Amino acid sequence: MRKNSTAPWLLSLFESPDHISSPFGEMGSLFNWTWSYRMDSEVFIPHLKFIPTKLDLGNWEPGSQAANALL
Amino acid sequence: MAAWIVSNCHLQPSKRNELVAALKNHSVSVDTFGACGQKKCSEKSHHGNCYREIADDYKFVFAFENSLCQDYITEKFYNAFDAGMVPIVYGLGNTSALAPPHSHINVFDFKSVKELAEYLIYLDKNPKKYLEYWKWRDNFRVISSFDAWCGACERIQRLLALPDKGSGHVKYDNIESWWKYVTTTTNTSACIHPKADKFDDLQSLISSH
């Protein structure tokens, strides 16, 4: 199927194997990457992110990375 | 005390209905919302909105997945944090890697459903202890990765920039073995299927994984 293409193939899967259990057949060896909830997928995007609201200024020094982040 | 918002009560390889029943048997008070519950959110309310609508009335909300599969976790986890309830997670998502410590309760951290129920009742009666599950909010705010397509696009651009464009990967020689198992080199199934009567030994349930 991919003989005529050098483009990488990405398979996205968002349901669990309990709901997508049918064999992949000849598509089984088609894909280079996956996009799924599995953390070992090349494309892994969790549903949520926690953003720190405070910078740790414990080692605050002018010119330091933390200081530059404030500027 | 606890709310459960559920739209599909029949699809449940995880036997989550039975887990809820077992918690009720151990005196946890649970109100069920949605298609399968006695309670309903307002008509205009859907998805995350239902969580926000009920958040003032419940300390905990169940984030019970219908499948117990490697890393599988859905938006219920986010909805709980967003609305302002403490999520109780039943699933195999790596919640301690995704969320700050002491922000949620994982069913599989307990020996039995009885022990879990006793802990929830303890927190319900001890507001100080319960509020420790809110401390993370001093240091973090939670956002939804709603723009998943953008994130995926960026990630794909980075993959394409790699010298081998990922073509050297052997992981997916047979994608089925990756999908169905925890790794391609073991035959540990990615999913576990509890028997309905196994909730009194949660550790033996998870150890099969």
Q: Which of B139, B145, B175 sits opposite A24 (nearest CB)?
A: B175
Q: Phi and psi (nearest 5°) for B81?
A: -65, -45
Q: Tell me if chain B has a CB within 8 Å of the CB of A47.
A: yes
The structural domains of chain B, ordered by start, are 1-209 (3.40.50)
Chain A residues in contact with B66 (beta carbon < 8 A): 16, 18
CB–CB contact A32 B165 (8 Å): yes
**What is the nearest CA distance from A28 to chain B, expressed in angstroms?**
5
Residue A16 CB contacts under 8 Å (≥ 6 apart), including other chains: B65, B66, B67, B69, B72, B190, B191
d(CA B118, CA B113): 9
The pair of structure tokens assigned to B191 is 């999913």
- What does the pLDDT look like over A21-68, one tens digit per residue? 767 888 888 888 899 999 999 999 888 989 888 766 555 555 555 555
How many CB pairs below 8 A link A and B? 122
Q: In this predicted structure, what is the pLDDT of residue B130?
A: 98
CB–CB contact A33 B74 (8 Å): no
pLDDT at position A69 over 60:
no
Closest to B197 measured CA to CA, from B4, B15, B13:
B15
Q: What is the ipTM score, two decimals?
A: 0.87
Q: Which of B70, B140, B180 sits opposite A51 (nearest CB)?
A: B140
**What is the nearest CA distance from B93 to chain A, expressed in angstroms?**
9
**What is the nearest CA distance from A15 to chain B, expressed in angstroms?**
8
Q: Which of B72, B175, B190 sits opposite A31 (nearest CB)?
A: B175
CB–CB contact A8 B167 (8 Å): yes
d(CA B180, CA B176): 6
Question: For the stretch B25-54, what's the b/e string if a residue is b when 16 or more beta carbons lie within 10 angstroms of its beta carbon?
Answer: ebebebebbeeebeeebeeeeeebebbebb
Q: Which residue has the tokens 């494309």?
A: A43
Q: Tell me if chain A has a CB within 8 Å of the CB of B209.
A: no
**What is the nearest CA distance from A14 to chain B, expressed in angstroms?**
9
The dihedral region occupied by A36, where left means phi > 0, alpha psi between -120 and 50, and beta the remainder, is beta
Q: In this predicted structure, what is the pLDDT of residue A71?
A: 45
**What is the nearest CA distance from A43 to chain B, expressed in angstroms?**
6
Which residue positions in chain B have pLDDT lower than 70?
44-48, 146, 165-171, 184, 208
- What does the pLDDT look like over B13-47, one tens digit per residue? 999 999 999 999 999 999 999 888 889 888 766 66
The answer to pTM > 0.90 is no
B137 HSE (CA, 13 A, CB side): 11
* Chain B: residue whose CA lies nearest to A52: B140
Q: Which of residues 104-123 of B touch A (CB under 8 A)?
A: none
Q: Tell me if chain B has a CB within 8 Å of the CB of A16.
A: yes
| pLDDT: which is higher, A3 or B39 | B39
CB–CB contact B175 A20 (8 Å): no
CB–CB contact A45 B191 (8 Å): no
